[in-house]
Amino acid sequence: MNSRWFLNIFCTVFFSCMVSGYAQEKVYVTTDKECYLAGENLWCSVFCIDSATGKYSSLSSVAYLDFFSGEKLESTIKVALVKGRGCGKLQIPFSFATGNYSIVAYTRKDGGDSQGEFNGKIVTVFNTLTSERVKGGVELAGIDEDIKGTGKAIPFTESRVAIEAQNVKGESFPVKISNLGDQPMQVSVSIYHLDSLVKSIGERGYDNTSLLDRSGQFAGTADEEYAGEVIRARLFKDGKPATGKDAAGVYVYMSAMGNTDDVYVANADSLGYLMYYTNNISGKRDLLFDVVADVTQTSKFKGDSVSSSVYKVELVKKEYMHTPAKIPVLKISQALKPHLERRSMMMKVERGFEADTLYNLMRMRSNDFFGAVTPIVYNLDDYTRFPVMREVVFEYVENLRIRKVDGKDGFVVQWNNTPVSYLLSRYNSLILLDGVPVRDHSIIIDMDPLLVKQIIIYPRRYVLNHFVFDGIVKFNTYKGDMGGKELWKNTTLVNYDAVQYPAAFLGDRIKDNRGYPKYNSTIYWNPVLEVAAGGEFTFECVKPQYAGEFKIVVEGMDTSGNAIYMEKIISVL
């Protein structure tokens, strides 16, 4: 039996008891470079450290990165953590005005109101589509004035790390990172173009903080996110917050549309609040909330005809006051115009051919609701297609039956040679249409099977919250749009930015894509590289379609919490 609910509740109670023994979690961030255009990808690597030990914290599973201009909070991304490490990217919105930005990083456990200023990583953004600038954050320099940034050289740790790379003319060139220390190190590795724009503001830009200085103090909270991101919501009935008897006994399914197992159930409290303890939902997703007004229907999966009220769900976000340290003023001049035009051209070419298939997916937290059971997969294109779902199930799907359940047609999963008659007397099956629980099985029984690509069956007993299901059946459509079915009563669809997919840009997939124009400003980004004590890591970096100087930066820390920084400049001809 697989119980996501029992596991999450156990983790919440257990780690709430032990969390007081943890010191503050401090979050540090490295990025692939210091200077960007609006529309470019800002790649980031995250280090979550227990301040008492200086080592990686295994408590929190999510880090939050707030991007502040000198005026306000502009954007936030969430990065999934695995044993204190994580990575992600922000495609810098075109709403970002030209100016310098500070990255304030924290976990929910220690992400309350600021207790002092946060000395964050500083990045520079130029927006070539608008003349808008960060208010009070940009100055026009005189014709002869030096406009280089205020960044200071970070001391190299030559005794602990070395970079070997040669100036090259071929299609790719080798790079070797050596750990000269006596402890394993975890670092990010970036190779980016030292173009005229970067040089005009200084190679260190306006970032004058080393890795371990990029932090600040926050008030503690009771918001531990050990298993994954905690999503909060509130229940509304007939347009008003549901409280008391209107909320008591009301269960709400939450699912992320897509071929995933992101399915959860929460019970509203007396004020109508809902808490979903996830294992981390990833990417930009559509969350579907399905309110079950009658608790007896939750495990019996039938319609909500008994309820005349209209229930809706709204997400709830806890807001905290975060304060970045003073952000340096960006100096600009007319001399930057040709450099901006060239970088803008390169960015447009890159975005025109950009595809997620060029990225490398890094290690993710496991989401094992389905468990280790081997599913039974039916790819319907492998069979003669029938126009009626009943015929498809009857002819091909051996472990699935359609039977009368409480007077309505429903699916029953047969497993372990258990008689269907016995299963009917026990529990219904959990039926998912593109990841969304469908409690009225007739919706799928009556749909066009030609819209369905796969039927996947998990033949075992599952527990979701305290509801038990004899098997799970996933119906995946070709378009992932639930076959165009309209949402049923008491459902709410919410666009949601979940944690970032942990991605890298290693460039190896470009070799198989000859039509891809290699005009990237960042040509290599490995955010979570680990090198053993005395070990080395060698890789081939794909040469771009332009020549110039490139900077290789290795930044991170060893297992004792010592900062590591090394850079090397090479020429690509």
DSSP bridge partners of 556:
187, 564
- Residue ranges in 402-536 assigned as alpha helix (H): 420-424, 442-445
Q: Are residues 356 and 452 in the same domain?
A: no
Helix (H) or strand (E) holding 88: strand 85-91
Mean confidence (pLDDT) of the chain: 87
Q: Which of 55-59, 107-111, 246-250 has the lowest mean pLDDT?
A: 246-250
DSSP string, 329-358: PEEE-GGGHHHHHHHHHHHHHHHHH--GGG
Task: Report how far Cα 65 is from the mean position of its chain's Cα atoms.
Answer: 12
Structure confidence at residue 155 (pLDDT): 84
Last residue of a domain, one of 497, 525, 560: 497
423 falls in which pLDDT band (50, 70, 90)? Answer: low
Into how many domains does the chain fold? 2
Percent of the chain having pLDDT more than 90? 59
Interstrand relation of 172-179 and 62-68 (parallel, antiparallel or unpaired): unpaired
Q: Are residues 383 and 507 in the same domain?
A: no
Last residue of a domain, one of 452, 480, 497: 497
Q: Are residues 491 and 554 in the same domain?
A: no
Backbone phi, then psi, for 349, in 5-degree steps?
-65, -45
Q: Are 440 and 303 in contact (CB under 8 A)?
A: yes
**Conformation bin of residue 534: beta by default, left when phi > 0, alpha when psi is -120 to 50:** left
Give the span between the Cα atoms of 464 and 253, in whole angstroms.
Answer: 10
Task: Report how far Cα 438 is from the mean position of its chain's Cα atoms.
Answer: 26
Give the span between the Cα atoms of 378 and 567, in whole angstroms.
Answer: 52
Structure confidence at residue 15 (pLDDT): 44
Q: Are residues 419 and 312 in the same domain?
A: yes
Half-sphere exposure of 147 (CA within 13 A, CB side): 21
Task: Report how far Cα 18 is from the mean position of its chain's Cα atoms.
Answer: 27
Q: Are 119 and 103 in contact (CB under 8 A)?
A: no
Which pair of structure tokens corresponds to residue 260? 């995933």
Q: Are residues 164 and 238 in the same domain?
A: no
Backbone phi, then psi, for 106, in 5-degree steps?
-165, 170
**What are 467-482's pLDDT values in tens digits?**
888 889 999 999 999 9
Residue 418 has pLDDT above 80, yes or no: no
364 falls in which pLDDT band (50, 70, 90)? Answer: confident
Mean pLDDT of 35-58: 94
Residue 243 has pLDDT above 60, yes or no: yes
Higher pLDDT, 121 or 12: 121
Q: Are residues 40 and 70 in the same domain?
A: yes
Q: What's the Cα-to-Cα distance from 123 to each of 34, 119, 433, rounded to whole Å?
A: 5, 12, 43
Number of C-beta neighbours around residue 308 at 10 A:
9
Which pair of structure tokens corresponds to residue 223? 């918001």
Structure confidence at residue 22 (pLDDT): 56
Q: Are residues 171 and 60 in the same domain?
A: yes
Q: What is the radius of gyration, based on Cα positions, of the chain? A: 27
Mean pLDDT of 125-135: 95
39 falls in which pLDDT band (50, 70, 90)? Answer: very high
Q: Are residues 324 and 393 in the same domain?
A: no
Q: Are residues 280 and 205 in the same domain?
A: no
Last residue of a domain, one of 471, 497, 523: 497
Give the span between the Cα atoms of 266 and 291, in whole angstroms.
Answer: 10
Q: Are residues 188 and 237 in the same domain?
A: no
Structure confidence at residue 147 (pLDDT): 75
Give the span between the Cα atoms of 360 and 508, in whole angstroms.
Answer: 9
DSSP bridge partners of 266:
252
Which pair of structure tokens corresponds to residue 245? 């008897």
Query: Global pTM?
Result: 0.90
Q: Which residue segment(s) compose the domain that 328 sits in?
A: 2-222+320-364+503-572
Structure confidence at residue 352 (pLDDT): 74
Q: Are residues 380 and 440 in the same domain?
A: yes
Structure confidence at residue 163 (pLDDT): 95
Q: Which of 18-32, 184-198, 374-388, 418-432 has the lowest mean pLDDT?
A: 418-432
Q: Are residues 25 and 55 in the same domain?
A: yes
Structure confidence at residue 255 (pLDDT): 94
Most distant CA atoms of the chain, gap in Å: 88
355 falls in which pLDDT band (50, 70, 90)? Answer: low
**What are 488-520's pLDDT values in tens digits?**
889 999 999 999 999 999 988 776 666 677 888
